[in-house]
Structure 1
Amino acid sequence: MRFLLVEDNEGLAKAVLDRLRLDGHVVDHAADISLAEDFSATADYDLILLDIMLPDGDGRNFLKAHRARKDETPVIVLTARSEVSDRVGVLDLGADDYLTKPFDFSELEARCRAVLRRRGGSASNVQRFGGLAFDSLAGTVSVSGETVTLRNRELRLLEIFMSSPDRIFSKAKLVDRLFAYDEDVSENAIEVYVGRLRKHLAGSEVEIATVRGLGYRMSLI
């Protein structure tokens, strides 16, 4: 998954970045609203973690503009305000959830998973496609009942394909979803990861096909 973290506290931001990246997620960090707007205008995110009190304004204004653009990307608000009226206010503005600072990182991870499950219309962490099962919580994959071991980037690539089976993903789109802005990579890296993932799926009823001139598509054989 690709997340956008909008947080000006350097210590907290680093801790959140380290935790989410350890889970294998791609995370871009914006310390103010202006940079957050630039990021959200040029990349597709699965989830936004949004602070309220930012150097150049109120995060709620970013949230309002985000929803006014009909952008349905889920937003979890991170706030030091514990009053009920404040929490109700951000939910009414379009936030999907909120977390009061200070928070436990395991709760942050759990709320991220819950919001993403709701977005996908699922009550479970396990996604299935043919004989393929991917558990996003445990980070495990099984093919026809047999467990296979994937590295973090391979897991996230599989997660992208499983989010939209039969959809064609261009190399550029996969680079956008798999790598943060501060990572210098070329589209050739996608060929490498797709090749590795194909080897893990060999012998299953699922294939990742090359669609000439367009990209890749995961489908049933």
Structure 2
Amino acid sequence: MYLLPLLLSAILSLKTFRHRWPKPYKLFAVLVIMSFLTEVLANLWIHKLHNIAGWNYSRNNLWIYNFFFLVRFALLSTIFYQILNDSRIRKIIYMGAIVLLLFGLTDYFVIQGPFQYNTFSVIACHVSLIVLCLCYFKQLLQAPGIIDLHKEPMVWMTLGTFLYQSASLPFLIMFGFLNLQHSPLALSLLFINDIFNFLICTCYLISFLCKPQHSQPL
């Protein structure tokens, strides 16, 4: 359901390179393109690639998503590092991202492993990104100039990220328990997660229909 707006977003994101948008927008374009390629790879793995060249690997594609979550966090942390002006927050982002990425790699290879949903590192990254989104919104509210918020791509990008991280966080916290105790409810939560995936992809699509705004003095 969400693959169509994600595909359209990936196509439209190419304009950030063609029109030489600032670096944070280009990084967001890279993130959207990688998101689409990850979804394609994850689906191909289940249906074909797990049995490639006569080797019958597990159809479990969580190793793809778990690794992509770390790449996604690294890209988003870099974007927020560039768009947030407060030097203290930038230092926290720099140090915090390194710590969380190291923990995420440890979780991926040692603690929970690549074939089990890495809830520990994913939840930590979700919480961090929610805080960074709020910092960006606060910066917008305190900005001395005026911009058309509904026309600013970064506003839509951050809004989509914030909505998805906030909505999926309770799901991630409860998923492991529900998967063991109440599988039908866990499956219904997956459907709800797909709905929010559609929402975030739609926000990304809208963002690439806009163009970066320049702050106007009061």
Normalised TM-score (structure 2): 0.27
Greater RCO between the two (CA within 8 Å, min separation 6)?
A: 2
| Structure with higher helix content | 2
| Structure ranking higher in strand proportion | 1
TM-score computed with the length of structure 1 as normaliser: 0.26
